[in-house]
Each structure stands twice: as structure tokens, then as C-alpha cells.
Amino acid sequence: MSAHALDKDLDAVAVSARAELVREIGLSGAWDTDPRWREVFAAVPRHLFVPYYYVGSADGRGEDRLWRDSPDPHTRERWLRGVYTDGPLATRLRDGELLSSSSQPSLMARMLAELRVTDGDRVLEIGAGTGYNAALLAHRLGDDHVTTIDLDPEITDCARAHLADAGHHPTVITGDGARGAPEHAPYDRVIATCALPTIPRAWLPQCTPGARVLAPLATGLITLTVHDGTHAEGTFLDTAAYFVPLRGAEPSVRGEIPHTPGDHELLRFLLTLTHGVLDPGEARDLWEREGRPGRERYGVTVTGDGAWAWLDDPESPHTWPLR
């Protein structure tokens, strides 16, 4: 097959691969609570947002870049098929460190469904990434209802270009996501696509009463209801979530946590949530004593004085300040 014929065939590959990805996400149950997201994922082409990504090299000594404009047509097909797998894609590296990625589509779908948007909602996204998540939101709610922010101007420039290629023009801001985007407030929903060390209090005054906040925290996903400009509270979802840390905040602490072979993943969640506050041995004893609780038994409260996590109830004896 000629290179031209293969490239022409890639259009058909993209259509069928996207349909298969949508089917796979559906089987995961990610959008059972809001089936309208199925139509959105079917309509928005992921490959427009990931012109290249990195995979482990064959010799295991580094990364290879798969890209849309490779001179090798077979590499272009490999790139395209990889885009439509249900997995995260490393999109930006610096000295071997992952700076940005396109998240696993089924996890994105779960998060968007749990955001519980309704028509007319205004959404702030923290972490623009490739622009794909903003495009999904914009397709559902309209461009003028979506604002996305990232600290890195290279990331926001690329996200803006990818969004335009897909026919979307939401507000894209270069700035510190921990401070929100007050110039475009108020927001009915806030969603973060980067791991946080705590919930920034600056977000709360930018939200409408009853707004919903969803953010990765301590290898989990916290969902908060904003009661007013100084008070929000909610619980974790039961799913695990691992994201690139929010830049401008403290570095991720996951690597500093003592690890014992055989540690249960849910114990690791508690160790991460209480890192720097609770001794790891104490945390292990608490976890065993309380019946090895899952993520959904933990919650977070945010007030004007700070933020803290708790087990089972905000008035529980088991509470820990978030750093």
C-alpha cells in the first residue's frame, strides 16, 4: 500500500478506533450516571489534541516519540491507534520528568459525569493539558461556559491551537490555577486535572452557592459542595486517580512516603492523605483498626481557616490538616 493510500485509510481508522474507545468507556460504567457524555466522547476527536506523545523505547533506556507528522506512514498509524487506547498519554517531558499528559479517557469520563453539570453551568478547569477535556466540556456546555487555566504558556498556546482545530474557542488563560480565574467568575463547577496538595481557598469565593468542585487529591478524587465563599465540604469517590502535580504548588509528596512491600493501595491513600501530619505507623494501625476503610469513607472540609481531611464524619476524632 502506498503512503498516500495508507494516510487516506487512517481517516477510517480514526473513526472506527474512536467508536471502539467509546464502547470500551461505556463498558467501564464511567458515564452511567450521565449518559449524555457518550455522545460528547463520540463527537470530539482525541487525535486532534495529541499530535505526539511519548512511549517507552524498545531498549528501555528512554522514550520514543510517536507523532502525527512522522515521515513513516506505519509510525503515523501506530500513533493514531495509540491515541484511541483507553490509557494516559505522556505529552510533555523535561529532563525525563512528566510535565503534562492526556489523561485516561475512561477516568476523564468518570470525572465529567461526577461533575454533574447541567445546561447553563459555567465551568473552571484547572490544568489545560492538551485542551481535550476543555473541548469535551465546551461541546456539552458551549464555548462561552468554559474557562481553562494553566501555568505554562507553551501548554496554553498548544491547548488553544488544538481547541481551534476542533472548532472550539473556550477561554484559555495562562496563570496560577491555585488562584483560580476570578475575572471570569462566578463558576457553577470547578474541575482540576492535576494533583493537588490541598484545596485552594481562593476557589470558593469564585463559586456560586451549591457549586461542585472535583479534584485529584492524595491518589483519590474529592468532590466538594461549596456552601458559601468560605465553606465547602464533601467526600472522596471510590476510584483511584494519579495525576501530574499542580505546578506552582508544593511538589508531589508521594515519592517521600515510606513504602513497605505488600502495602495495600488503600493504605497508601491514607499515608498520602496524612503525610507530614500522622506518623506512618500510626496511620497503618488506624487503617487496620477501622476496618481498612476505602476512599469513600474519607472527606474534606474547607473553611476560611484552612482545609482538613477526616474519616467518616467532619466531627470524627480522626481529622488531619491538609498541607
Name the phi and psi angles at 269, rounded to 5.
-60, -45
pLDDT classification of 8: cutoffs 50, 70, 90 = low
> Given the DSSP bridges, would you call strands 207-217 and 187-192 parallel, antiparallel or unpaired?
parallel
Cβ 321 vs Cβ 307: under 8 Å: yes
CA 71 to chain centre: 32
Question: Above 50 in pLDDT, residue 297?
Answer: yes
Q: What is the pLDDT at residue 4?
A: 47
| Cell 495525576, located at residue | 243
Residue 219's pLDDT is: 92
Residue 152 forms part of a structural domain = no
- What sign results for the dihedral spanned by CA atoms 119, 134, 213, 115? positive
Q: Among 102, 132, 155, where does a domain finish?
A: 102
Q: Which of 197, 236, 25 is nearest to 110 (CA)?
A: 25
Distance from C-alpha of 166 to C-alpha of 169, rounded to nearest angstrom = 9
pLDDT tens digits, one per residue of 243-294: 888 765 544 444 455 555 556 999 999 999 999 899 999 999 999 999 999 9
Taking the C-alpha atoms of residue 227 and residue 204, their distance in angstroms, rounded to an integer, is 9
In a domain, 317, yes or no: yes
Model confidence over 56-99: pLDDT tens digits?
877 767 788 899 999 998 889 999 999 999 999 999 887 767 77
> Which of 71, 102, 133 is where one domain is finished?
102
pTM attached to this predicted model: 0.91
CA distance 215 to 221: 6
Mean pLDDT of the chain: 91
pLDDT value of residue 181: 98
Give the domain extent around 59: 1-102
Task: Lay out the sheet containing 97-102: strands in order across.
Answer: 63-67, 52-56, 89-94, 97-102
pLDDT exceeds 50 at position 3: no
Task: Give every CB contact of residue 16 below 8 A, 6+ residues apart in sequence.
Answer: none
Interval 136-163 mean pLDDT: 97
Is the separation of the CB atoms in 167 and 84 below 8 Å? no
What is the C-alpha to C-alpha distance for residues 288 and 156, in angstroms, rounded to an integer? 44
Question: Which residues are part of the catalytic machinery?
Answer: 100
With respect to residue 6, please indicate whether it lies within any of the assigned structural domains: yes
- Reported as a single tens digit per residue, the pLDDT across 11-66 is 899 999 999 999 999 999 999 999 999 999 999 999 999 999 998 877 767 788 89
Residue 23 is assigned to a structural domain of this protein: yes
Please list, in sequence order, all residues whose beta carbon lies within 8 angstroms of the beta carbon of residue 184, skipping any fewer than 6 positions away: 124, 147, 171, 173
Share of the chain above pLDDT 70, in %: 91
Contacts of 36 (CB under 8 A, 6+ apart): 140
Question: Which of 83, 102, 121 corresponds to the end of one domain?
Answer: 102
Residue 312 in domain: yes
Specify the amino acid at residue 53: Y
What would the mean pLDDT of 144-158 be, rounded to a whole number?
96
Mean pLDDT of 132-144: 98
Residue 10: inside a domain, yes or no? yes
Task: Give 296's contacts (C-beta < 8 A, 6+ positions apart).
Answer: 235, 236, 237, 238
Q: Residue 34 falls within a domain, yes or no? A: yes
DSSP element (H, E) containing 208: strand 207-217
Please give the grid coordinates belonging to residue 199.
484545596
Q: Flag whether pLDDT at 308 surpasses 90.
A: yes
Calculate mean pLDDT across residues 223-232: 98
What percentage of the chain has pLDDT greater than the value 90?
A: 79
Q: Number of structural domains, the chain?
A: 2
Residue 101: which pLDDT band, with cuts at 50, 70 and 90?
A: confident
The pLDDT, as a whole number, for residue 56 is 81
Residue 4 domain-assigned (yes or no): yes
